[in-house]
Every structure is written in C-alpha cells, then in structure tokens.
Amino acid sequence: MAASNVKVLGAWPSPYTMRVRIALNLKNVDYEYLERNPERGPPELSELIHKTNPVHKMVPVLIHNNKPICESLIIVQYIDEAFTSGPSILPSDPYDRSVARFWGAYIDDKVRNDTSYEEAFEKISKGKDFFGGDTIGYIDIAFGTNLAWVRVFEKLNLVKLLDETKTPNLYAWSKKFCSVPAVKAGIFPETDKLLEFVKTLIAKYDGLLHHRENV
C-alpha cells in the first residue's frame, strides 16, 4: 500500500505508539512515521499533534486519508476494520470481540498498577501461545507493548515479573510476543536503550524537584 495516505505521529518509548505500529505491520500497511522527540518537538510535529488530537494533545495519532484517529486501542480497532490486508486483530465473533475489548480496557485501567500479570495470563490465554489463541491478537498487542517497560522496571529492581521458573507461561508468552515479525520490526525498543531514556527522565525530574526547592 502507498505510504502517503497513512501517517503515525508517535514516540518510540510509548507502548501506545508501539500498539499502532504493530497493528499496521500485521496488516502490511506502509506508513510514514513521525517521531516526537523527548523535548516534545520538533515544533511542526508538536503543532500537528495539537491539531489532530486537540482533546488530549498526545501521541499516538494515526492519520489516514487526512483524517486523524486518536487513542491507541481505538486506533488498533480502526486499523483492523479499515485494512483487510492482513490477519484479523480482533476475533470475528461478537462475543469473543467483547472479551478482547474487556481485557483491553482492563489492561489500560488496571494492569499497570497491578502485578497479577501471571494470574491474568492464565485466566485469559487458556493454555494457548497467545492471549487471543494461536496467533497474536488484540489483547497481546494491548498487553505486550508494556513488556519493554516491565524489563526496565526489572533492571531497576522495582518489580520481578518475567521469571522462567516462577511464571513460566508469562515468560514463554513474552518471548513469543517479541519474536513476532510485526513486533520485531524495529518497534520494540532494546531494554538498555529504554533504560537510558528512563534514567534521563529520572535525572530531569530530580532536577525539577531541586529547582523547585531552590525557588
């Protein structure tokens, strides 16, 4: 497909941006990718983000045929409905689709404040390779894009989730998820690169705190 009619405004550390890019890869859709830098620039891109997502002013934004779509899981659903050039991301059965949407909402609402990943995986996956069954789907995309951050939090000794012995199913799923070509395609950041980014954030935040104290 021509790249010109599909654009993604995003940021590489953002799990939400990753969701959109993985979904487009799964559908074999070429797209132009515009990366916001850590200083929330360049200014032209910042303007474009404000113009296309005036309510939240955040990435990711998908622009398809000059129409903007916002909110990562809504974008993933849009990609699934608008492009038939690849496997389905949501199940075809309305009930199964409602289950996928339920867990998608649950992941954004709860899982990030929760450490019961393994329990959730056991409940949802029912022994399959992926949450949605034998191939990558909506819940995997919603859930799996947090893995890069999980690994960074593990390196910082804040959590321990992906343990081959204690949580073998979740561990196996994380390996499978990251080996899917649509995910591997330069989207999923190296743990060390993301760790450096997080350290910069922490340093910046520390600086801000001290600056405030000195005012």
Contact positions vs a copy of itself (CB under 8 A): 55, 64, 67, 69-71, 74-75, 77-78, 81-82, 94-95, 97-98, 101-102, 105-106
Nearer Cβ to a copy of itself (70/194): 70
- C-beta of 69: minimal distance to a copy of itself in Å? 5
Residue that the structure tokens 């954030």 belong to = 201
- C-beta of 154: minimal distance to a copy of itself in Å? 26
Strand pairing category for 6-10 and 32-35: parallel
Phi/psi region, residue 6 (left: phi>0; alpha: psi -120 to 50; beta: rest), is beta
- C-beta of 68: minimal distance to a copy of itself in Å? 10
Nearer Cβ to a copy of itself (57/97): 97
Nearer Cβ to a copy of itself (69/180): 69
- C-beta of 74: minimal distance to a copy of itself in Å? 5
Rounded Cα–Cα distance for residues 167 and 161 (Å): 7
Nearer Cβ to a copy of itself (80/140): 80
Nearer Cβ to a copy of itself (21/64): 64
**Coil, strand or helix: which one is 140?**
helix
Element (H, E) at 215: none
* 3-state secondary structure string across 60-117: CEEEECCEEEECHHHHHHHHHHHCCCCCCCCCCCHHHHHHHHHHHHHHHHCHHHCCCH
- C-beta of 30: minimal distance to a copy of itself in Å? 19
Tokens of 52: 């296309």
Longest CA pairwise span in the chain (Å) = 59
